[in-house]
Each structure stands twice: as structure tokens, then as C-alpha cells.
A = this chain, B = another copy of it.
Amino acid sequence: MLINCSAYRDGHKLAEIPVEDISEYILLPDTFVWVALKDAAPAELAVMQEEFGLHELAVEDAMRGHQRPKIEEYGDTLFVVVKTVEPQGDELVVGEVDVFVGPHFALTSRQNAEHGFTDVRARAEREPALLRQGPAFVLYALMDAVVDRYFPLVEALEAELEAIEERIFIRGSQRKNIERLYALKRKALVLRHAVVPLMETVGKLHGGRVPAVCTGTDAYFRDVHDHLYRLNGTLDAIRETIGTAIQVNLSMVAIEEGEVNKKLAAWAAIFAVFTAFAGVWGMNFEHMPELHWRYGYAVALLVMALVAGFMHRRFKRAGWL
């Protein structure tokens, strides 16, 4: 689905143009065309391939989708794949933005991503001084937007981790904790798989040899790279902390089980003593003098209570009750 197809000159929008005119506009000097597609059908991409003269392999990748974040050079055209991550209920949904950047055009095609990039275009159009830098700036603006949207997600993971940590040493919450830790781990993994390859990828757009269309925009891509590096650091810390928390959870399970076992066993012991005494005085020997005492029964109950009380106190002191 075509979202927008406009031509820009010197950082200013010329006009929205029909798709058929693209191939003419991209020949004009100081002009570039910026096209945005959403969930593009193969036919739409085929048209774009022809208008922009895109490389067959890149277009195939864009059609198939499910690429990893990457940057590929085909002659003077860049093919960039970026992953969007969007929360949906309790899940993270991964989408994809494919960007083709040539000297005179930028074509973006997003799939499976709810949140569009009209705000990116609007902001770019408000700053002609920046947009004048051409398609590479469009690429930057889009990447920056995608990466900025990772931050609240990672912060949500951090918040969730902190919430779990507050309950990690609380008795009786271990089953819930391990479930939450596992869910968190999975989400962190989803984000990591969006962030890490993109970080490696953006690293190729600044410092060292940079693709021709990106020369002069080094500092921008270094900034994006830097944000990804920071996200990666946070995700690493989350990952390590989850790992430790899972280990700690196991220790806590074992510790709590031990505590309960001790408590139960202590009570069992107290009752076993009762039963043993009662058993003794329930024996049928003929000559058991105490059975005939006037206060034998009372004394017996007293003895049993005293022993039980003594045991209770000892167990209490040992910290078992």
C-alpha cells in the first residue's frame, strides 16, 4: 500500500508525485524522491524496482521479509533492513522496515508494523536545512525513530525486572517469580535480536569506509550507533541479572522448602512423642502401678504436655518453628 510519494528539492517538498513519474524525477539535479510503502504487495515492489532500478536480490529480500537487520550495497544503492518492535498486550511484535537509499531517492517499506513514520516525514519537512542533506538524512531520521522506539520497551523490561527483584526474597512467591523471569528473558531476547545486528550494521555507516550516499552524515549515524550501543549494554545487564536471579530463585526455593520441612517435621516430632507415651500407657501389662494411681491420668497428661512444651521451646530456639 502506498503511503506517500513525494519529491524534494533543496530540502523543500516539491509535490506529491504519481508513482509513474518517479523515474523522471530522480534524474533532476538536487532532487530526490521519498516513497513510503506499507505491507507492500509484490506487484507494488515490482513497480518500484523498475522505477528506481533496484537490484533483484534486494527486492526479493524485501518481498520475502523476515530478514535480519543489515545493510547491503548494490552499486550506489543501499539496501537497509531494520526491525521494529511493538508491544501488543503482553507480547512484543517484531516488524520490519526495508529502506532503499540511492543518490536521488529513499524508498521505505514497512511490514507488520502498526506505528508508521509520518511523524518522521513531518519533522524532516519542518527542517529543510537538515533534509537538504538528501536521502541519507531520510535514512538517518527513520533509523533514529525506530531506535528511539526501542528505549521505552527496554525501560519497561528494566522496570519489570526491578519489580521482580523486589519480590525475589519474599516467601512463597518463587513460582510466580520464575514465570515472570522467564517471560522477561524471552522479551529481552527479542529486543536483543533487533538491536545487536543493527548495531553491527550501523557501525559500517560511520568511521572507516562509508558508503558513498552516506558521506557527510557520519556524525548522525554515529549517534544512532551510540544509542544502539547503550541499548545493548542495558540489555546485557538485564540478561546477566536475569541469569543470576534465576539461580537465586532456585536457592530460595530450596531454602524455603527446607524451612517448611523443618517446621512440619518439628510438629510431627511433637505429636510422635505424644503417641509414643500414650502407647506405653496403653499397654496391657498386669502390673503397671501408675495406672492405678488416683492422679495417674492427670500426671500422664502433664508429663506429655511438659515434654511437648520442652520440645516446642527447643525447636523454637533452633529457629525451626
Interface residues of chain A, those whose CB is within 8 Å of chain B, are: 55, 57, 61, 66-68, 70, 72, 74, 168-169, 172, 174-175, 178-179, 181-182, 185-186, 189, 193, 197, 219-220, 222-223, 226, 229-230, 233, 237, 240-258, 260-262, 264-269, 271-288, 290-297, 300-301, 304, 319
Cβ of A255 and Cβ of B174 under 8 Å apart?
A: yes
A126 to chain B, nearest CB (A): 15
Contacts of A279 in B (CB 8 A): 274-275, 277-279, 282
- Could you tell me if A281 and B285 are in contact, using CB atoms closer than 8 angstroms? yes
A189 to B68, CA, bound (A): 21
Q: Given A189-B237, A246-B248, A254-B253, are A287 and B297 neighbors across the interface (CB < 8 Å)?
A: yes
Taken together as a complex, chains A and B put the C-alpha atoms of A265 and B274 apart, in Å, by: 17
Assembly CA distance A152 to B78 (angstroms) = 29
Nearest residue, chain B, Cβ from A299: B285
A285 surroundings in chain B (CB, below 8 A): 281, 290-291, 293, 296-297, 300
Shortest C-beta distance, A151 to chain B (Å), equals 9
Contact A258 B253 (CB under 8 A): yes
Q: How far is the CB of A233 from chain B (nearest CB, A)?
A: 6
Q: Smallest CB–CB gap between A124 and chain B, Å? A: 15
Complexed CA–CA distance, A258 and B253 (Å): 8
Task: Give Cα A221–Cα B49 distance, bound, in whole angstroms.
Answer: 21
Task: Point out the residues of chain B lying under 8 angstroms from A233, CB to CB.
Answer: 68, 193, 197
Q: How many angstroms from the CA of A79 to the CA of B161 in the assembled complex?
A: 32
Tell which of B219, B230, B251, B264 touches A253, judged by Cβ atoms closer than 8 Å.
B251
